Amino acid sequence: MELRAVKGMNDILPDEIGRWQRLEAIFRRTVELYGYREVRTPIVEPTQLFVRSIGEATDVVEKEMYSFQRHDNELTLRPEGTAGAARAYLEHKIHAREPVSRWYYLGPMFRGERPAKGRYRQFYQAGAELYGEAGPLCDAEMIDMLARFLQQLGIEQVEVLVNSLGGPATRLRYRQALLDFFTPRSAQLSEDSQRRLEKNPLRILDSKSPHDQALCAEAPSILDVLDDEDRAHFDGLLAHLDALKTPYRVDPRLVRGLDYYTRTLFELRGTGGELGAQNALGGGGRYDRMIGELHGPETPCIGFALGLERLLLAMAPAPETSPGWVYVAPLGAEAQREALRLASELRSAGIEARVDGRGQKLNRMLPRASNSGARFCVIVGEGELARGVVALKDLQAHAQEEPPRAQLVQRLREILGGEATR
């Protein structure tokens, strides 16, 4: 049997990793400027954590989790980052130590969805959680932070959708309004949505079926049943977004797939063509009840997650900006030892160097150096050793010179104009 990667799980090879690292670095830099600090939680958590926090009647919990049993424990590969972070927040009693916490994370998530372009079974998310503030100021600031992050990545074609799901009382009223609307029309709904009608009618609004969607357009809007406090919160959010000049569109039918949201909800959609059907770049919302439901003190929270694969699809390819590295080619046994010392010195000076340990003949080594992608080749032969020099070839400029051995680092720095040591 030929062994292959698991379906829907991808290798990220070294020649692709530069874009990932750049994306991750920009993410870290952006959120750290807002005071967020990284948290790393286990990839495996007790299954019950996800069942209780994400909600039983969601696609993720119903059919997408990678769950298994080990040492009598029911475990699951995390399908998202919010639940594990909330568990850690509670377990370490962070609420007792500080009134407001800002956490971010980066890492792989697992969902057994049907693989497609932009939809995988192992995928990477970057996300953040803010504990201890009820909003709406911080809600607006978080959405604005995301919009700015996408701008930094050069992703211009984006739409920011916002909605309010209200608090528990509003949700109950809205649930009833949806039942009243959909029950007499249930025969027109897709099979999936008929099932949702019984379990979780809000999820009908999430349906991908065009027929369901047409019906949803006529369904009552949650914004019409918000109570006074929910309404004030939502109006505050929009006013703060206006103050920040963050462009947004109110979409009263935005519900998103996870059950834990209350009040503010948002999603960032790519409007460029490269994403296809999987155009949700990221999203999030407020989940003020989760910590309480996990038996902690009532703590207002808001968070988001972005899909890194989708961000990479939406980003324009950026040229690699490496200063170039040095191919060190020794000719002879003594030269090899000198090459090892020389390469060490180059690295200490911040210059990438690789020693060719494969062969001794110049006519074999030179073509290898030219094809390697190196910017420079440094040849150390018996003659050069005797004279205390090295042969330095600039493979890009097709130039050659013979600096004294002791001045090689300085000479390379001059050529690179200081770039390599930055």
User: Which residues are at the interface with ligand AMP (CB under 6 A)?
Assistant: 80, 111, 113, 118-120, 123, 125, 256-257, 280-283, 305-307, 309-310
| Smallest separation (angstroms) from ligand AMP to the CB of 260 | 11
Q: What count of residues does the chain have?
A: 422
What's the Cα-to-Cα distance from 206 to each of 163, 259, 317, 363, rounded to whole Å? Answer: 13, 12, 32, 65
**398 burial type by CB count under 10 A (0-12 exposed, 13-18 middle, 19+ buried):** exposed
Q: Which of 51, 132, 117, 111 is nearest to 297 (CA)?
A: 132
Beta carbon nearer to ligand AMP, 57 or 340: 57
Beta carbon nearer to ligand AMP, 139 or 384: 139
Beta carbon nearer to ligand AMP, 128 or 335: 128
| Smallest separation (angstroms) from ligand AMP to the CB of 256 | 6
- What the block records as the tokens of 400 is 């050659």
**Rounded-to-integer distance, Cα 342 and Cα 336, Å:** 10
Cross-strand bridge partners of residue 66: 77
Q: Which of 259, 266, 205, 261 is nearest to 237 (CA)?
A: 266
Q: Sheet containing 376-380: give its strands across.
A: 353-355, 326-330, 376-380, 391-394, 399-401
| Smallest separation (angstroms) from ligand AMP to the CB of 248 | 16
- What the block records as the tokens of 166 is 């209200």
| Smallest separation (angstroms) from ligand AMP to the CB of 110 | 9
Beta carbon nearer to ligand AMP, 119 or 203: 119
Residue whose CB is nearest to ligand AMP in the complex, by number:
307
Beta carbon nearer to ligand AMP, 230 or 267: 267
Beta carbon nearer to ligand AMP, 108 or 323: 108
How many CA atoms are closer than 13 Å to the CA of 368, on its beta-carbon side? 19
Q: Which of 391, 35, 61 is nearest to 259 (CA)?
A: 61
**Rounded-to-integer distance, Cα 125 and Cα 115, Å:** 16
| Smallest separation (angstroms) from ligand AMP to the CB of 158 | 12
Q: Which of 289, 300, 287, 358 is nearest to 329 (CA)?
A: 358
Beta carbon nearer to ligand AMP, 158 or 420: 158
Q: Which residues contact 136 (CB under 8 A, 6 or more apart)?
A: 233, 234, 236, 237, 240, 264
Beta carbon nearer to ligand AMP, 103 or 327: 103
What's the Cα-to-Cα distance from 72 to each of 44, 78, 236, 412, rounded to whole Å? Answer: 14, 18, 48, 60
| Smallest separation (angstroms) from ligand AMP to the CB of 230 | 21
| Smallest separation (angstroms) from ligand AMP to the CB of 264 | 14
| Smallest separation (angstroms) from ligand AMP to the CB of 273 | 17
| Smallest separation (angstroms) from ligand AMP to the CB of 350 | 36
**Rounded-to-integer distance, Cα 291 and Cα 164, Å:** 20
Tokens 């050529």 belong to residue: 415
Q: What stretch of H or E contains 76?
A: strand 73-77
Number of C-beta neighbours around residue 309 at 10 A: 19
Q: What stretch of H or E contains 124?
A: strand 122-131
Q: For residue 367, is the peptide bond before it cis, meaning its omega torsion is within 30 degrees of 0?
A: no
Beta carbon nearer to ligand AMP, 123 or 182: 123
| Smallest separation (angstroms) from ligand AMP to the CB of 203 | 13
Q: Which of 162, 161, 158, 163 is nearest to 311 (CA)?
A: 158
Beta carbon nearer to ligand AMP, 219 or 306: 306
| Smallest separation (angstroms) from ligand AMP to the CB of 15 | 21
Beta carbon nearer to ligand AMP, 203 or 310: 310
